[in-house]
Amino acid sequence: MSTQKGIGIANGKIILMGEHAVVYGEPAIAFPFSGTTVTATLTTASSPTLTSSYYNGPLEQVPTELTSIQTLVQRLTNDYQSPACHITIESTIPAERGMGSSAAVAVAITRAFFAWQKIAYDTKQLLAYVNQSEVIAHGNPSGIDAAATSGHDPILFEKGQPFTTFALNIDAHLIVADTGVKGKTRETVKDVRALMEQHPQTTLATIQQLGQLVNDAKQAIVLNQATELGMIMNQAHHYLQQLGVSDATLDNLITCARENGALGAKLTGGGRGGCMIALAQSALDAKKIAHKLTQAGAKSTWIQELGVYEYA
Ligand code: MEV
The average pLDDT across 225-230 equals 98
At 312, the pLDDT band (50, 70, 90 cuts) reads very low
Residue 144 near ligand 1, beta carbon < 6 Å: yes
Q: How many residues does the chain have?
A: 312
The average pLDDT across 104-111 equals 98
DSSP H/E element including 283: helix 283-295
User: pLDDT tens, 149-205?
Assistant: 999 899 999 998 988 988 898 999 999 999 999 988 989 999 999 999 999 999 999
pLDDT at 268 exceeding the cut of 70: yes
User: Residue 74 contacts by C-beta under 8 Å, 6 or more apart in sequence?
Assistant: none
Alpha carbons 193 and 132: distance in angstroms, whole number: 20
The average pLDDT across 243-264 equals 98
Q: Which residue's CA is the nearest one to ligand 1's atom 8? A: 142
- pTM for the whole structure: 0.93
pLDDT at 311 exceeding the cut of 50: no
Residue 6 near ligand 1, beta carbon < 6 Å: no
The average pLDDT across 91-104 equals 92
From residue 71, how far is each of 41, 51, 84, 136, 288 by CA, in Å?
17, 16, 13, 8, 44
Alpha carbons 280 and 110: distance in angstroms, whole number: 36
Residue 141 near ligand 1, beta carbon < 6 Å: yes
| Predicted pLDDT of residue 95 | 87
Alpha carbons 46 and 1: distance in angstroms, whole number: 9
Q: Ligand 1 center to residue 212 CA distance, Å? A: 17
Q: Ligand 1 center to residue 127 CA distance, Å? A: 15
Residue 173 near ligand 1, beta carbon < 6 Å: no
Please list, residue by residue across 191-215, b when 16 or more beta carbons sit within 10 angstroms of its beta carbon and e when fewer do: bbbebbeeeeeebeebbebbbbbbb
Residue 274 near ligand 1, beta carbon < 6 Å: no
pLDDT at 310 exceeding the cut of 50: no
Q: Exposed (0-12), middle (13-18) or buried (19+): which is 294, by Cβ within 10 Å?
A: middle
Please list, residue by residue across 39-72, b when 16 or more beta carbons sit within 10 angstroms of its beta carbon and e when fewer do: bbbbbbeeebbbebeebeeebeebeeebebbbbb
- Cross-strand bridge partners of residue 8: 40
pLDDT at 270 exceeding the cut of 60: yes
- Cross-strand bridge partners of residue 301: 177
Q: Which atom of ligand 1 is nearest to the CA of 15?
A: 2
Residue 21 near ligand 1, beta carbon < 6 Å: no
Alpha carbons 264 and 229: distance in angstroms, whole number: 7
Tell me which of 306 and 205 has the higher pLDDT.
205
pLDDT at 119 exceeding the cut of 50: yes
- Cross-strand bridge partners of residue 15: 30
Residue 145 near ligand 1, beta carbon < 6 Å: yes
Q: Ligand 1 center to residue 15 CA distance, Å? A: 9
Q: Ligand 1 center to residue 69 CA distance, Å? A: 18
The average pLDDT across 94-104 equals 91
Residue 20 near ligand 1, beta carbon < 6 Å: yes
Q: What is the DSSP string of 157-182?
A: E-TTS--EE-----S-EEEEEE-SSP
DSSP state of 96: T
Contact 301, 178 (CB under 8 A): yes
User: pLDDT tens, 4-53?
Assistant: 899 999 999 999 999 999 999 999 999 999 889 999 999 999 999 999 99
Residue 142 near ligand 1, beta carbon < 6 Å: yes
Q: Ligand 1 center to residue 146 CA distance, Å? A: 10
Contact 217, 29 (CB under 8 A): yes
Q: How many CB atoms lie within 10 A of CB 6?
A: 21
SS (H, E, C) 217-268: HHHHHHCCCHHHHHHHHHHHHHHHHHCCCCCHHHHHHHHHHHHCCCCEEEEE
DSSP H/E element including 49: strand 49-51
Q: Ligand 1 center to residue 79 CA distance, Å? A: 28
Residue 99 near ligand 1, beta carbon < 6 Å: no
Residue 185 near ligand 1, beta carbon < 6 Å: yes
Q: Ligand 1 center to residue 189 CA distance, Å? A: 7
Q: How many CB atoms lie within 10 A of CB 99?
A: 31
| Predicted pLDDT of residue 250 | 98
pLDDT exceeding 70 applies to what percent of the chain?
Answer: 97
At 308, the pLDDT band (50, 70, 90 cuts) reads low
| Predicted pLDDT of residue 137 | 87
Residue 240 near ligand 1, beta carbon < 6 Å: no
Alpha carbons 168 and 181: distance in angstroms, whole number: 28
Give the chain's largest Cα–Cα span. Answer: 60
